[in-house]
Amino acid sequence: MIALVDCNSFFCSVEKVFHPGLNGKPVCVLSSNDGCIVALTPEAKALGLSRGMPVFKVRDIINAHNVHIFSGNMTLYAAMSRRVTGILRKSIAHVENYSIDESFCYLDGYNRIASPENFMREVATRVHQFTDIPVSVGIAPSKTLAKIGSKFAKKYKGYRSVCVIDTEAKRRKALSLSNLDDIWGIGRSTRAKLAYLGVNSPLEFADKPEGWVRTHFHLPGIRMWLELNGHPCIDTSEILQRQTICTSRSFGNMIGDISHMRESVAHFAASCANILRGQGSVARQVTVFIHSNSFREDLKQHVGFDTIRLNVATADTMEITAAALKILDSIFHQGILYKKAGVELSGISSANPCQLQLFDSVTNRRERASLMNTIDALNHRYGIKSLHLAAEGDAASPWMVKCEHRSRNYLSDINEILTVKI
């Protein structure tokens, strides 16, 4: 059996941990530049708010109902996520951290000690006791069914945080009560294809003969069908190994100076390289894109992008940043006010083994790889971007995002540690 532990309204729950007076009140967490709602509590949803709404369009609702808003703080959320995952790993031998707020736990053998339901309810209680983060748990033979179970556990209080799908009757009932949009792996195109084929519910899809599924779908669709029928076949470690890595952001202010644009692109390139090393991969292609503010029809518009193919696949921040800045210099237009830029890495493969070239211009790759590992270790210990390239600029750069409602980094910065007045 597999258990999915899902933190409820994770970003908002983290903010409520450090602002206990917000329990039972509407809370929203905003995107970069405080532009849109990216997370919200059930109390906020009850007011008609939803994920993706621009803040300026719902400002009246926010003010009228005293909705508490926070700027997104991924450093704080990641620190809390590590605490939750640490508690899970102390309780369960095999835990797979799938996302910042979700973890798959493999329960093989634990049924000899206690029932999976009671065992995971104790784990959920422990997580809440030590972090004050509420979690919902779905237990099932496959990961897709476990995700469905976690949604039921979150929606219905009668499950007491844990929903188990361990019989054929429970599986069919869960699928009959779910929508196709709720199923892990069903996106817009798959949903449209199923509708075209006359399939309107997860249960209808699961009941289709295997031959029909193999006729109409490729491997991902076949795996989805198997998972819905209780046959585990999705390896999330493959999903976590990203095939493209992109870092992009809207600027806090429009930028017309290439020096500031170079800072932003260098910053994004370094972030991509850090993610690349974190998953043990290297990339062969670097793409940079920039565009102006399409909402300002009174200004000149421009969209630029280009790609460089590297001679040797790499995860070296300096090499990737140099390539990104070279692209930027070729696509940047003077006189344009830019609102957004981004860097994307593709052609990703495993770092070991890595194909080298006889006429490689970089002659000290081993030493540079050691340098990158040292920088990563220092940043992990002292905080993100404690050590970075000078080309990335500093926190005072005008392209930095607006975050007027950001909480302090209570869990990772000694200078911002929580203080209590007695």
Token reading at 136? 């919902």
Q: N- to C-terminal Cα distance for the chain?
A: 48
For the stretch 332-375, pLDDT in tens is 999 889 988 999 998 888 877 666 666 667 777 788 888 888 88
For the stretch 233-248, pLDDT in tens is 877 655 555 678 888 8
Mean pLDDT, rounded, of the chain: 86
> pTM of the full predicted structure?
0.76
What the chain holds in terms of domains, given with CATH numbers, is 1-148 (3.30.70.270), 167-239 (1.10.150.20), 241-392 (3.30.1490.100)
For the stretch 294-322, pLDDT in tens is 878 888 888 999 999 988 888 889 999 99
Written as one string, the DSSP assignment of 273-322 is HHHHHHTTEEEEEEEEEEEE-TT-TTS---EEEEEEEEEEEE--HHHHHH
| Helical packing angle, 143-155 and 219-228, nearest 10° | 60
